[in-house]
Structure formats: structure tokens, C-alpha cells
Chain A
Amino acid sequence: MLGTEEMQKVRIIALRSNRYDIIRELHKKGVIDIRKSSIAAAEDAAVEIPELNALLVRFRSADSTLKKYLDKKAQTRIVKHLDDAHTKAYASSHKQLEGAKLFEAAGAVKAIDEIFSLEARKTAIDSELGELAETKALASHFVGTGIDFLDLRSEFLTFRAFSVAKNAHAKVDAEMAKLKGDYEVIDRKAKDARMVFIACRKGKEATLDRLTAISGVYEIDIDNSRLDAKAEDVLAKLGKRESALAQEKASANARLSALAKKEYLTVASITEMLSVEADRAGVSENFKKTDYTLIVEGWVLKRKLDELRADVLKATKGRFTFETLATDELAPTLVKRPGFLRPFDFLVSFVNLPRSDEIDPTWIFILTFPIFYGLMIADVGYGVMSLLLASAVIRITNPDDLVCNTAKIWRMCSLSIIVFGVLSNQYFGIPLNQYFMPSLTLFDWVKDITTILAVSILMGITQITLGLAFSFINHYKRGHVVLAISKLTSIVFLIGGTIALAGALFGMFSYDVSLYCGIASIIAVLATAAMSGIEATEITSLLSHPLSYARLMGFGLSSVMTALLIDMAFTPSLDSGILVFSVTLIVFILLHFMNMILGIFEGSVQAVRLNFVEFFSKFYEGGGVKFSPFAYKRRYTKED
């Protein structure tokens, strides 16, 4: 149960004439992780089908374009993979097409050209709208000046415009008084500021730069190519063009939405079929070949070996050899886990993927994480709030997303928070069990600190002992007998030492039991040191790591105490009037919400940490290679 899927390396040798049939069967089955063969033979090459690649690029591009125009319901279904019954129904009636038939089906999708042309037109419209917006902004500076910009076009003169703020009027007037001969000044009042137009002979512009040095004056570039009439007329013309373009864009959007509604599944299914064909065409580069034969090697799920052999037999009509290979190579890892527990794999992958020849620690993580997390937050109110929030997040996010997976773990662990909340009689920090089921209260955070501390450390000792036991199994399976036995002596030290200390310091065991356990513990240390120097250095961690589990009590207590303080200070009461009641209610809810968020963050980080640092370090190596089967995850089509 704690292992990963068993793998077997196989070698299939078949006739090259059956190449496509074999590839298709292997791809359909999806149970082989193809690797390059170790046989000294020529390498095969990927099958080049240029038309296939070109078509695939076109369809992928059309697919991603149409996706943007799906309505909200279809978006939820297709993009977020939620409420997927419609897509499944479509897939069940669309079989994979191959070769000429697939090209024919792709060619029949006439909407592709229209999609690209509409997209191209929309891009052009957006670019023109951008330019129009810039011109409008420019023209709006000159509204009210009465200047016709057609008059400002000359071969011999340069025209410049300056916006002058009120505080700069005097300085500008002084500067303008100095301009003589080569300059003509037109002083106008624009909508928002004074606007000064100056015409000068070409080559005499430098003098005007003095104006821009005055604070409150800035020059506006008169772009005659954009402005060809009075500002008001330009704005009116631009407005008309803008609304025409907006209308054209809206109709392009409407057409794309209609195409998305009508054609999306067709485009997506053809894209999927083309991707499958591309996968199959490209895989040959992992094969070896002779003049007439083809050699395929890879890792197969052991439980699927016979099925695969039967499929290859069918594809080759019996003309093949199917060998199982004995190898020292590390098999790829595929974890065995029900779907609803998969999100936990993501958390363990923070550390590393388990090797295929070691115990998969995720199961223990799945069991202990909710316990640690629940104990550290332990409040029915927070548990219910977590449950509702997590369920809401799951509803609106893509199931494959990191956020959704995290929310799934959060939702599962909310139940643990509720259970520990009931057991510790905490409902937003208020004890309520006495009103309906007093016997449900198992412990009290304030009165039973010592017990909770002892239980926390005991949990640590149990988990670390389990870690050492797993390490024993891993080393024993790999033939490291001495190292394996040193793990057993470490266990004796840990348990013996705990009993001896509990007896000597707290009187939990009799003198004799404590003494014998103490002696056994010392002998175990010496034996461990004699067997493995490395293991001996780990002895100190056997003392500190169980103590580290005291954080379960520490964080739990701090969360409960904060809730109690919030209740003491901000429990709303109608006696103090409706206004004070409303304000204290809001503060009460906000503070509890903050305490819950803090608890969730700290609780999850600490629960993860106890597993990763204290538990995994005892046995887990990781560094496995993920099993990646030669397969395609279909959504819109089914196998033929």
C-alpha cells in the first residue's frame, strides 16, 4: 500500500512495416514510458509530415482564439473543465481520424480562414483606434482656439504651440515682447489654458526654446499630418470614425462569438486529433532500427504487462518479440492514489518525487497533516468558515490549477478543524458544548496544557519511530543490512529514552521500568554508534525532533487565546445600543477572520514542516523520475 506502482522494463522487436500499428496501439494503451533503447543499432527518426505540423499550428491558433469568445457557461465548461458533461457527450461520438481522413476533416473546417481574417481585422481596428485616441488627445488641447491647422502649413515657416499656465503669464509676456521681425505670435484662449501659437522663419526656432524653460509652460507638438482642420472639426471627424470602427469591431466580436459557439468543439477535436498524430509521428526518434525491424524499449506498469502484450500481438498479427528486461536502472515513479487525494501529491512534490524503490510517504502525510492542522486551529467556527471559503474557491477555479488543489486540501482539512473544535469546545472561542452535548468535550486548552503538550510530543515520537521503521525497510530492501539494523537500535533508543525520562521526571512509570528502559537506551546508542557513524550523529536529532512537535500545542494555544481575547473585548451586545452593537459586530467578525487566516497559514506551514523536516528526514530520499506514459489525455475525441 505504501509503495508506488510496480514497473517492468520491456523490449518489443517487430517488423518496420508494422510501425504505425504498433505506435498506435502503444499510444492508445498509454501504459508505456518509452526510453531510448540500449541496443547497439541505428537510431530511428521522427516521421516528418510538414502538412501535419502546419495544420496543427493553424488549428491550435484558431482554438486559442475561439476560446476567448466562448460565452461564460462554455468558458466554465471548456476552459475551467467544470460541468463537463456536454464535452464528454461530444467526445463520445467523435472517433480519432487518421491520415488522409484527418486532413480531409481539417480541410472541411471553413471557419478557420474566417477566424484568422476577423482576428487580423480586429488587430488593425485596435491599432487605428489607438492612433485616433492619440489624435483626439492632441486636438483636445486646441479646442476653443479657433485655429485652422490647414493654415499652419508652410514651406518657409515653422509653427509651434505653447500651453501657458496662469502663474507663467507674466514671464511669457516678457519673453514674447523680445520676439521681433522673424516671429508672429497668435495668443488664444483654449478650453483649459492660454495657448500661444508662434510662427517663425525656418532656422529661427532655437530662440523659442527659452519659453519651454519657464515653469508652467509646455510645448504641444503640432502634428500637421494628424490635424487638418479646426480642433472641433477634427474631433467630430475622429468621433465618427471611432464609432464606425467600434461598430465594426463589435460585429467582428459577434461573428467570432457565433463561430466559437458553433465551431469550437469541431476545431478543438480536430486540434486534438492532429496533436495525437503529431505525437505518434514524433515518437519514432526514441526507437532503434535495423533494415527490417523496429526496437522499442520502455517501462510498463507491471499489472498492465499482459494487456500490452495482447495489444501488440493484435497490431503485429503475431510477428513480434516481447521481452521483459532485468535492469539496475531506477524505474520511473507512478503513485497509486485515489483521485480525491491527488492534491496532497502536489504538497509532497515540494520536497521531491518519491523513488520507485522506496516507501511513498504521502500516505502518512495525508493521515497526519489534517490531524496536526486541525489541532493547531481547533475551532468549529473557523472550520465552518474554512469549509465555505474553500468550497467557493473550488467552484470557481480550474481543477488542474494550483489554487484549486490547495483549496481541496483546505476543504478536507476544514473537517479536521471542526472535529478538534468540537473536542476542545471552541466555537469562535466560545464554549458551547455544555448546551447540547457536554460529553463531547475531550480537552480544554487552558486547563489541560500539560496533557496537550505530552500528547503533542507523543505524536512526534510516534511519527519519528514510524520514519525510522520506514528507513529500516528501505535500507533492508536495498541490502544495507547494518544501516538497517542501526535504524532499529535508534528506535530502541528513542522509545527506551522516552519511557526512562517520563518515569524519572514525571513519575509516569515505575522506577524499575524507567531504569531498564534507560539502560536499554544507552546500550542502543552505543550499538548504533558502533554500526554506523552517520546514524550516531543523528542521535541528537532524535532528542530535538520530538520536542519540535510541541509546536502543535504552542500554535493551537495561541490561536485559542487570540480567539478568547477577541471575545472578551469585542463580543457584541444589544444593551449598548444598535450603533455600538453594529460596530463591535463588524470588528468581532473581522478579527476572528484575521485570526482564522493566521491560523490557516501558520497551521498549514507548521503541519507541512513537521512532516517534511522531522518525519521525512528520517527515511525519505526522493529524486524519483516521473512516469510519463506515451499517451494523450483526450477531451474532445475518443479512440477509434
Chain B
Amino acid sequence: MEAAIAAIGAGIAILGGAIGTAMAQAAIGSSGMGLVAEKPEEFGRALLFLVLPETILIFAFVVAILIMLGFGIGI
């Protein structure tokens, strides 16, 4: 039972991180496309800004992994 709750907790951690990242990327992505349409040479920088929020998901992923390992849930 504990393991099941822990697995759900890990899932919630990933879900929250994913939603947060998606919201941030939606705003940055559309602005980035606007920037690239005006200045194609800024593509690199726009792409970089786009991937910045992925850190949120990575943190969520680390939390999920720690929860799962803490409760002895293997992959």
C-alpha cells in the first residue's frame, strides 16, 4: 500500500512539473516564434530560452526518482 501511494506521489510530482513546464514553454515558445519571424538569426537564443523551463520538469523528475527509490520501487 505504501509503495502504491509513493508511486502516485511520484506521478503527481511529474504531473505538476510537466504542467508548469508546459505553461512556461507555451508563453516562451510563442514569443520566440515571433522573435525568429522578425530576426531569424536569433533562432539559437530563442531555442535556448524555450528549453530553460525544462529545469522545472527535471527537478520534478529528481523528486519522483527520490520518492521511488526511497520506497524501494524499481523500474
Contact = CB atoms under 8 A, between A and B. Distances in A.
Nearest to A561: B75
A350 B45 contact: yes
Contact of A548 (B47, B55, B65, B69): B55
**Most chain B beta-carbon contacts within 10 A, residue among A453, A544, A551, A605:** A551
A548 B48 CA distance: 15
Contact of A608 (B48, B58, B59): B48
A554 B52 contact: no
A609 B51 CA distance: 8
A612 interface: yes
B65 A449 contact: yes
Contacts of A612: 48
A111 interface: no
A606 interface: yes
**Most chain A beta-carbon contacts within 10 A, residue among B45, B47, B52, B75:** B75
B48 A613 contact: yes
* Interface majority SS (helix, strand, loop, mixed), chain B: helix
Interface in B5-54: 44-45, 47-48, 51-52, 54
Nearest to A551: B58
B44 A548 contact: no
A551 B44 contact: no
Contact of B75 (A446, A547, A550, A605): A446
Contacts of B54: 551, 606, 609
A330 to B, nearest CB: 22
Contacts of A351: 44-45
A478 to B, nearest CB: 26
Contacts of B62: 453, 547, 550, 554
A605 B51 contact: yes
Interface string A547-591: 110110010000001000000000000000000000000000000
Interface residues of A, number: 19
Interface residues of B, number: 16
Contacts, number: 44
A450 B69 contact: yes
Contacts of B47: 605
Interface string A596-615: 00000000011011001100
* Interface majority SS (helix, strand, loop, mixed), chain A: helix
A548 B58 contact: yes
Nearest to A557: B75
A432 B21 CA distance: 37
A351 B49 CA distance: 11
Given A453-B65, A548-B58, A609 B75 contact: no
B58 A550 contact: yes
A176 B62 CA distance: 82
Contact of A547 (B44, B52, B58): B58
Contacts of B58: 547-548, 550-551, 554
Given A350-B45, A453-B62, A550-B59, 11 more contacts: A351-B45, A449-B65, A449-B69, A453-B65, A544-B55, A544-B59, A547-B58, A547-B59, A606-B51, A609-B48, A613-B48
Interface of B: 44-45, 47-48, 51-52, 54-55, 58-59, 61-62, 65, 69, 74-75
9 contacts: A350-B48, A351-B44, A446-B75, A453-B62, A453-B65, A561-B75, A609-B48, A609-B52, A613-B48
